[in-house]
A and B are shown apart, each in its own frame.
Chain A
Amino acid sequence: MTVRTVINAAGRRVPVQINGQPVVAFKGVGKYRPSGRKYSPQIPSCSDFPTDGNKVVRSLEEALRKCGLRNGMTISTHHHLRDGDLISNRIFEIASSMGVKDLVWFPSASFPCNDPVIRYLEDGTINRIEGSMNGPLGRFVSEGRMKGTAVLRSHGGRVQAIQDGEVRIDIAVLVAPTADPFGNAKGTGGHSSCGVIGYGKADSMYATKVIVVTDNLVDFPCYPMEIEGNYVDCVVVTDKIGIPEKIVSGTTEITRSPDRILIAELTASFLEKSGILKDGVTMQAGAGGTSLAIAVFVHEILKSKGWKSKFGFGGSTKYMVKMLEEGQMGYILDAQAFDLDAVKSVENNPNHIPYPVFNAYNYHSKGNLTSMMDIMILGATEVDVNFNGNVVTHSDGYLLHGIGGWQNCLHARNVILPLPLFRDRIPVIVDEVTTLCGPGELIDVVITERGIAINPLRKDLIKKMKGSGLPLRSISELRDEAERICGKPQKPQFDDKIVAAIKWVDGTVIDVVRKLKTSQ
């Protein structure tokens, strides 16, 4: 069956239906007005729950049976245990052994440790994944082998979809490093501590059934509770929810690559000379090696000027923690802790505050955190001459990354993408992005080792940076240089079949990924 397609406001051809459900095509940034009311799950009653507050059941299988696991259900998980997650795969192993079919897996992100679910995609237990797809999973989807169509959303788009009822979670399985028998849960404590578990908050509030899985059961009350027991149906206690050394990297380290350090230096210098970096600045940078190097340089500048950042938004790392502890940052608001120093800081420092992604990123909300940020440092696999960005596919057409918070963060005042001009002969600045994830009007500056391109829409920045001594170039000059060095790349060849839809932060479809022709 072929589905009708339309051209959306970004000029991309997208379907009007995905997985049998009608969808809205992207209308432009801030243009789509949602109508109606938020989704609400069924009303529960205390009479169905033990009066002593003890909701512990014997096993995950029992919990899933109790929650009525059956064909076609949507199962959600969060990704706070990252590559050390031992529970997500287990859910589908159980479902498969029960003979359940056509589930939708709705994770907040997937990791290499989730590659075994390919088996359950193949045996029909899972119909599709709506979430990020990395490595072999991305390959599986790009080659058109998944039964349903993948839907990729940003972290904020995911909670928007939950809130608006676009995705109705039947069972949320939320792992928790610490929980009590009533279902109150938090991200710290025990031997699988991941710092925070805020990505599971919306799931707990909107899912029909909620299962908390922990390996560290404590007496009531588990405090401070990130997941509140009032939303929880059952609690499962297991030996081990995760592999600690894969949950957090013991330590995150700044890049050693001299080229990346050069990009970081240029970025710090740009922030300083443009006046974007100032006393009271608010900022967010990721955990990639280049971002960390930028954080270190920014810290030095703040210190030398006697400035202080009002707050930073995590994912937090030891470099951010250092700013907090040395007095160059007022607060860390945190949706996830990337290393052990960050986990320790959330546990001990009252100014390191867990801040759920639901509050930070949801676009269908009465304002959110991202538009309040002065500096946003982001990555991309490709940026094109119109400043459009791609974060989900590589230039060869394979789906290899999730969107993460990237689209949400584009709403910050100054969105800066420090990127290498090319990676192993693959140009990063290109004519047109393979997959559109973020419209160019929201991307302000691209900083490469061979020059800095400011979006022509940012006349203020262009004016400020004149005579700065930094290597300013137009984005097409950067594209030309990449092509001069690497050669002009061929385009990957796609079939018509749509394998994944890319949602914008408001739930509209900004682009799709098509099946790769693998005959080549």
Chain B
Amino acid sequence: MSKIATAGNAGPKVRSDCEITIEIRQKGGIAINLKSKVKTLYGESIKSLCREVLDFFRIRNAVLSIDDSGALPLVIAARLEAAIRKITGTEMEFLPEMIKENLYATTPERTRFSRLYLPGNSPGLMINAGLHSSHGIILDLEDSVAPDKKDEARVLVRNALRQIDFRGAERMVRINQGETGLKDLQCVVPHNVNLVLVPKCETAEQVRQTQEWINEIRSRKKIRNRIFLMPIVESAMGIENCSEIARASDDVVALVIGLEDFTADMGVQRTQEGAESLYARSRLVIAAKAAGIQPIDSVFSDVGDLDGLKQNVLRSKALGFEGMGCIHPRQIRVINEGYSPDNAEIDKSIKIVLAFEEASKNGLGVVALGTKMIDAPVVKRALKTIALAEKSGLIGKDWRGKTDSNQ
């Protein structure tokens, strides 16, 4: 077995990360060679953290080489642990403190307009991710992490879940398929994950398998918080089975379509207009709505084109989608605003509800607003819009009083 291993990233463009090489030896004690742009300010603290980690793993003789570009302690610890695991295969975990800000739960029906994808092995993007007000933050262990980096990314994501304040965003992890996915779950589930994204989902069985794994870990580790599931459907087979997938478990709260993989599977080009996926998207929306869960749209990949994104969101909303993934923080606002009801919708809904309430008080079953008849389904939709507007902070709970004065 090799006694030398490396984890992490270094290079001219890397920031807030480090690359650590460890050579475990038979004798000679601990030697640390540190190259760091913050050496004057944090040199001693980096070395003492590394000694603490080595001590935890009972390593007494080793040479460490650290190339640091301003990594936070949670990153340094993750990199060193990952390098040690490569050599020893240990199952021990050096866990940084779980900050109290991170101990929150979410609900099945919460708003999920925007969820920001963060590559699971890029710590620089994680630190401030919570500042941009997305409804969810996805720490991605799947497609954005190279196969030979999966193991170290998992440790980093675990530490991020414990140490980085995501400020109320739903804490999500996208796991890998199969056995790698199980390893992912074992590593992250005990650290207050709110939701797990199940990629390339083609059958209800895949969802149930994931849920079983999660439940097994939860009971073994005595974890009480619920963990929701969000299957990603990205193939023709997945679309065929999406109704069953949506109903596979009570923990499934949303169904996502992944159009890059879907169009590849179909052998067609993905276009801005999206005619090639119209049926698939519509089918998925109906399956989700029928199961009482949220249909979520695919990411928009041109991060520079915010106008294009806006048009895309409005088309998506018109089809019935209730959210979209973000691959850059600047997309968040456009997406949140796009899926929120606009002022005209809100005003109209309030008028409808008030008119209906007034009519009911007077014993009338059907009322008219202007020339339009208002019946139960219209009122139901108006109430939904108002609830959404309330949840998005667009109107206060006192909307009845506010609008009275406007009229």
Interface residues of chain A, those whose CB is within 8 Å of chain B, are: 258-259, 261-262, 395-397, 423-426, 449-450, 485-487, 489-490, 492, 520
Contacts and interface: CB of A to CB of B under 8 A. Distances in A.
Nearest to B328: A258
Contact of A424 (B38, B43, B330): B38
A487 B44 contact: no
B127 A258 contact: no
A487 B39 CA distance: 13
A425 B72 CA distance: 6
Interface string B70-88: 1111000000000000000
B312 interface: no
Contacts of B41: 395-396, 425-426, 489-490, 492
B317 interface: no
A107 B185 CA distance: 61
B329 interface: yes
A492 B40 contact: yes
Interface string B301-337: 0000000000000000000000000001110000000
Interface in B18-65: 37-45
B157 to A, nearest CB: 18
Nearest to A256: B330
20 contacts: A258-B128, A258-B328, A258-B330, A262-B132, A396-B39, A423-B70, A425-B41, A425-B42, A425-B70, A425-B71, A485-B127, A487-B45, A487-B72, A487-B73, A489-B41, A490-B40, A490-B41, A490-B42, A490-B43, A490-B44
B330 A450 contact: no
Contacts of B328: 258
A424 B37 contact: yes
B42 A424 contact: no
B131 interface: yes
Nearest to A420: B128
A262 B131 contact: yes
Contacts of B43: 490, 520
A450 B129 CA distance: 12
Contact of A449 (B38, B40, B71, B131): B131
Given A258-B330, A397-B40, A487-B42, A424 B15 contact: yes
B132 A425 contact: no
A301 B37 CA distance: 40
B132 A396 contact: no
Contacts of B70: 423-426
Contacts of A258: 128, 132, 328-330
B69 interface: yes
Contacts of A423: 70
Contact of B128 (A259, A425, A520): A259
B16 A424 contact: yes
A487 B42 CA distance: 8
A204 B139 CA distance: 61
Q: Which of A261, A262, A425, A487 has the most CB of B within 10 A?
A: A425
B188 to A, nearest CB: 22
A268 to B, nearest CB: 14
A181 to B, nearest CB: 49
B45 A490 contact: yes
Contact of B38 (A426, A485, A520): A426
Given A259-B128, A262-B132, A425-B72, A520 B330 contact: no
Most buried by A among B15, B39, B41, B72: B41
A468 to B, nearest CB: 15
Contact of A485 (B39, B45, B72, B329): B72
Contacts of A259: 128, 131
Nearest to A485: B72
Nearest to A427: B41
Contacts of B16: 424-425
Contacts of A426: 38, 41, 70
Contacts of B40: 395-397, 490, 492, 520
A492 B37 CA distance: 13
A486 B15 CA distance: 14
B44 A449 contact: no
B241 to A, nearest CB: 37
Nearest to B131: A449
A449 B42 contact: no
Nearest to A487: B45
Contacts of B132: 258, 262
A486 B72 contact: yes
A-B pairs with lowest CB-CB distance, top 8: A424-B70, A258-B329, A489-B41, A396-B40, A425-B70, A259-B128, A492-B40, A425-B38
A261 B70 CA distance: 22
Contact of A489 (B37, B42, B128): B42
A424 B41 CA distance: 12
A396 B36 CA distance: 12
Interface in B344-386: none
A259 B127 CA distance: 10
Given A397-B40, A424-B37, A426-B70, 7 more contacts: A258-B132, A259-B131, A262-B329, A426-B41, A489-B38, A490-B40, A490-B42
A397 B70 CA distance: 17
Interface string B201-228: 0000000000000000000000000000
Contacts of A261: 330
Contacts of B73: 487
A397 B73 CA distance: 23
Contacts of B45: 487, 490
A490 B47 CA distance: 13
Contacts of B127: 485
Contacts of A424: 15-16, 37-38, 69-70
A481 to B, nearest CB: 10
Contacts of B131: 259, 262, 449-450
Contacts of B42: 425, 486-487, 489-490
A486 to B, nearest CB: 7
A262 B134 CA distance: 13
B35 to A, nearest CB: 13
Of listed A424, A426, A520, residue having the most chain B CB within 10 A: A424
Interface in B122-142: 127-128, 131-132
B128 A449 contact: yes
Contacts of B72: 425, 485-487
A423 B40 CA distance: 15
B23 to A, nearest CB: 25
Interface in B151-168: none
Interface in B61-118: 69-73
A341 B16 CA distance: 35
A513 to B, nearest CB: 15
A135 to B, nearest CB: 15
A492 B44 CA distance: 12
A520 B69 CA distance: 18
Nearest to B304: A256
Nearest to A395: B41
Contacts of A520: 39-40, 43
Nearest to B127: A485
Nearest to A263: B131
Nearest to B49: A487
Contacts of B69: 424
Contacts of A489: 38, 41-42
A372 B180 CA distance: 64
Contacts of B44: 490
A381 to B, nearest CB: 13
A449 B132 CA distance: 10
A520 B40 CA distance: 8
A409 to B, nearest CB: 28
Contacts of B330: 258, 261
Contacts of B39: 396, 520
Nearest to B69: A424
A28 to B, nearest CB: 31
